[in-house]
Structure 1
């Protein structure tokens, strides 16, 4: 039977809470209109309120960039989708756990948020089909995906309370019981925990968190973790109980590497320049050159030398450069401006030496033909 209009629209998204629909719009930047580019003359005659509104609009348009395709993103997202598409919603089947490992600044969080958005939409469609077929369980509120970002040291109880809070569900002195009920009543199928390294995996807390994550997977939930230095997470030393918990996790956790971007081959160099060009296409500066690819051609490789391939550093550099151009009224980006921008401490180390090599045409890799 061919699909009907009812089956091909996006009515299933109405099953989601307004909060989740708004979050999806933020992740995919579907609620960010293009403010367009005005001329220097138009900018000059704008009255204060109009000019400030325009500044806010073009800043938001640049900052709210959806996830951009790079070889790293394509690889990691395909792994996440493969695991998602092979799963079924059943507490009779244990789920393996993916853990994304990468240095700070490689873009893990954006990848996770995008995957969460994809899964919220996909699982809403699945519930719509189940309702249509008459076998969807009643729920208090439909919240199929939880994404939480750890911001400091967490115990097992802290983690469970954080998850309950994300569902707007009360938790008492036994948060595991509350979390279990919340999961059942909200139809949760996927839990994503970012910055898992904030948990102290060396002691009793680590053992307890290993065990609660295993409980989630045994409960039929899919769990995705992300962090830095996951060797420490997976090989935590300590008491025999801690080592047993870590060993059990190693038997279930699937490690996925998220490296920084490289330019050691011609194709990798082209991929990097394509990434810079994607940002260039969202710049709305009144005095910027009109030639297509101006930012990429002039500063693409410079930006690699400055950021060393860390995605978050590239985002920071371009956003600060755009803000600088707007604030000073220059309305374009120059080398002097880029040189004045400070990035994260880690990528600024040995900056003087690296940029001297770059300017001399001797920077490794970049200057190879």
Structure 2
């Protein structure tokens, strides 16, 4: 029997529709529990607020201990339920789970897509964590938590298989990696091995990230589609995610690649994520909602609770620096918070934000954009200067 520590509040929140969350949590295999705890950063303890005087009164050991907790706390990027995130979650929840049958292929496969930096992986991880919690509740209510496979061995139940592709893969390599992700030998027939693992381990969801690395060319593409369809026919919910998948498929011009593109568009349901615009009042509300989530997590002595340093003081500066990309925003505000935590004032300033570099896509041209913004020549529509 697996012993468990008390459920952290962040994990407990995933079981909001469960009357006995502790009992359901105990049914989850240790690797999945570690994944869920990592997604919600369950061990990131809130360091609370201290004034500058209180901070100065701490011993050197206590100051260092607090610094460690501050950096961990500020490194967590919350999933903010903005309009596009809420819409994406609603779309994912609107499709019924496919039932084991030959007609399951009629249920479209959700595909989360968009430009790099729009938060697809963060969303997919949250979906995976919620799916693990939901599957555990269902197992507790419907049974199956203690069944064995006929060999007298009770295999771990993995409700969710979450795979992030590290690079270009061919059809058979995809299923070998799926097997590896749950510790199952792939053997000569990786596809068949994974299908057997679905029954053995009670797999209900398969989530594949970075799917732009899958080879969809001609025969390879048809094999991947047919293999994924066969998994869905077993009653498994597939969710795919990747960068600019529509554009990737449209760029395929050979006849065999065009056939693969048509198969994809017929079987996939698109869920688009984008950078946050800064044009209308609604755009500004959504953008400030994102900033407020980070603002609410600040635990710096130079910022009292409720200080609107991001939503008011630096709102425009932050958008010009990040161009509204969720990942760039996370990097900028995380780094700025860490830099500020080491400064005597413990306050976010323009110098601190300037010192916090971000991903090259937004960092390139950042100084020029900020110069145009300060000169009143920045275009919120184009993300750069006004046309002369």
TM-score, length basis structure 1 = 0.88
Deviations 1:98-142 (A, max 9, x none): 11110000101111111111111112222222218x998966221
Shift in CA distance, 127/136, structure 1 to aligned 2, threshold 3 Å = farther
Pairing of 1:348-359 with structure 2 (within 5 A): 348-359=363-374
1:77 Cα offset (Å): 0.9
Q: Distance in 2 between matches of 1:135 and 1:46?
A: 51
Moved over 4 A (4+): 134-139, 238-242
Encode CA deviations 1:282-304: one digit per residue, 9 max, x unaligned. 11112235663133211122101
In structure 2, do the counterparts of structure 1 residues 242 and 271 end up closer, same or farther at CA, with 3 Å as the change threshold? Answer: closer
Tell me, in whole angstroms, the C-alpha distance in 2 between the residues paired with 1:238 and 1:219. 33
Aligned equivalents of 2:43 and 2:168: distance in 1? 34
Asked if structure 2 preserves the Cα contact closer than 8 Å seen for 1:28 and 1:67, the reply is no
Question: Which one is further off, 337-346 or 229-238?
Answer: 229-238
Rounded Cα–Cα distance in structure 2 between residues aligned with 1:150 and 1:313: 22
Q: In the alignment, which of 19, 37, 55 is matched to residue 43 of structure 1?
A: 55
Which residue of structure 1 aligns with residue 130 of structure 2?
A: 118
Q: Do residues 334 (structure 1) and 363 (structure 2) align? A: no
Change (3 A) 1:237 1:262: closer
Does residue 15 (structure 1) correspond to residue 27 (structure 2)? The answer is yes
2:358 equivalent to 1:343? yes
Q: Give the CA RMSD over aligned residues.
A: 2.5
- Residue deviations 1:115-172, cap 9 Å, x none? 111111112222222218x998966221111111111111222211211111121221
Q: Give 1:279 deviation, angstroms.
A: 0.4
Question: Are the structure 2 counterparts of residues 182 and 192 from structure 1 closer, same or farther at C-alpha, using a change threshold of 3 Å?
Answer: same
2:37 aligned residue? 25
C-alpha distance in 1, partners of 2:236/2:305? Answer: 51
1:201–1:233 Cα contact (<8 Å) kept: no
Q: TM-score, normalised by structure 2?
A: 0.84
Q: Please, which runs of 5 or more residues in structure 1 have no aligned partner?
A: 1-6
State the alpha-carbon separation in 1 of the partners of residues 111 and 279 from structure 2: 27
- CA drift of 1:232 comes to 4.5
User: How far, CA to CA, are the matches of 2:200 and 2:19 in structure 1?
Assistant: 28
d(CA) in 2 for partners of 1:21, 1:198: 28
Corresponding residue for residue 253 of structure 1: 268
Say if 1:62 and 1:283, in contact at 8 Å, map to a contact too.
yes
Deviation at 1:16, TM superposition (A): 0.9
Closer, same or farther: CA 100–65 of 1 in aligned 2, 3 Å: same
Larger deviation: 105-114 or 222-231?
A: 222-231
SS in 1 for 2:324: coil
* Secondary structure in 1 matching 2:270: strand
Aligned ranges 1:85-104 → 2 under 5 Å: 86-92=96-102, 93-94=104-105, 95-104=107-116
Stretches of structure 2 that go unaligned for 5 or more consecutive residues are: 1-17, 382-388
Q: 1:14 to 1:289 in 2, by over 3 A?
A: closer
Which of residues 213, 216, 233 is equivalent to 1:198? 213
- Alignment match, 2:385: none
SS at match of 1:226: strand
Supply the distance in 1 between the matched residues of 2:99 and 2:162 (Cα, whole angstroms).
Answer: 18
State whether residues 212 and 248 of structure 2, in contact with CA within 8 Å, keep that contact through their aligned partners in structure 1. Answer: yes
1:4 match: none
Q: 1:67 maps to which residue?
A: 79
The answer on whether the counterparts of 2:109 and 2:268 sit within 8 Å (CA) in structure 1 is yes
Pairs aligned (count) = 357
For residues 237 and 105 of structure 1, what CA distance do their matches in structure 2 show?
24
